[in-house]
Amino acid sequence: MATPLATAEACDANISLIANGELRVLQPIFKIYGHCRMFAGPITTLKVFEDNVFVRDLLETRGDGRVLVIDGGGSMRCAIVGGNLGQLAQNMGWAGIVVNGCIRDVDEIDGCDIGVRALGSHPLKSNKKGVGEKHVPISIAGTLIRDGEWLYADSDGILISKTELSI
């Protein structure tokens, strides 16, 4: 598992990486959910729209401290992660989930020992058509994110780094 870092300290200690684009700060559009306020890990990317079949597929694999970053197209019309998937992520060893879209079962997710960030919550569940793309570059919150990069999140925000950071 990656060691979570305070994002403000990481920014202060890595000004040159911010200047050259190797360390990026996501726009502050995400709400904080899940038991872990601070989390970090290598990124697995997923692009879906109002469909969570691939979300479950990935969360059923060993997480090994990774963070699933889901480009849900910013949809505010349904949730693509719920309590069952939050529990699955915890059980399979994922460090966290970031959703450019909505979650549901907020109280259940808040009880899970993972970090979750999402645009908001919505009670309606998603479609189950199995449409999406795994391990592809995605663009969310003003930032291009690639599979295998690193994510650091805390109460101050979310950082994306080309490599694992240390302070």
The pLDDT profile of the chain, 167 residues, written as one tens digit per residue, is 677 799 999 999 999 999 999 999 999 999 999 999 999 999 999 999 999 999 999 999 999 999 999 999 999 999 999 999 999 999 999 999 999 999 999 999 999 999 999 999 999 999 999 999 999 999 999 999 999 999 999 999 999 999 999 87
Q: Is 157 part of any domain?
A: yes
Residue 166 forms part of a structural domain: no
Four-CA torsion 35, 40, 42, 46, nearest 10 degrees: 40
Query: For the domain that residue 147 is a member of, what is the CATH number?
Result: 3.50.30.40
In a domain, 107, yes or no: yes
The CA distance from 103 to 22, in Å, is 29
93 in a known ligand binding site: no
Residue 17 lies in a domain: yes
Residue 148 DSSP label: T
Query: Cα dihedral sign for 150, 158, 3, 16?
Result: positive
Give how far the C-alpha of residue 47 lies from the chain's centroid of Cα atoms, to the nearest Å: 12
Tell me the C-alpha distance between 104 and 84, whole Å: 10
Q: How many domains does one find in the chain? A: 1
| H-only helix segments in the chain | 7-13, 15-19, 53-59, 83-91, 106-110
Does this model's pTM top 0.85?
yes
Looking at the domain assignment, is residue 88 inside a domain? yes
Domain annotation covers residue 65? yes
Q: Is 105 annotated as a binding residue?
A: yes
- Whether 82 has a binding-site annotation, put simply, is yes
- Confirm whether 167 is domain-assigned: no
* Full residue range of the structural domain in which residue 22 is found: 7-161
* Residue 68 counted as an annotated binding residue: no
- Residues 161 and 22: their CA atoms lie apart, in Å, by 6
- 156 in a structural domain: yes
